[in-house]
Amino acid sequence: MGGENAGEIAAEIAVQSIKAYIQSELKKKVKLTLSGFWNLR
């Protein structure tokens, strides 16, 4: 039972870190896109 719990916790942490990584990458792309639009004007 303990091993299953540890696996579930590890999976949950992995999902959270992946979500955080995706969000930070999206924010970077949005910033680059916005700055690109400003430079075009």
Q: Residue 37 is encoded by which pair of tokens? A: 């639009």
Question: What is the pTM assigned to this prediction?
Answer: 0.65
Measure the CA–CA gap between 17 and 26, rounded to whole angstroms.
Answer: 14
pLDDT in tens, the chain (41 residues): 566 799 999 999 999 999 999 999 999 999 999 888 888 76
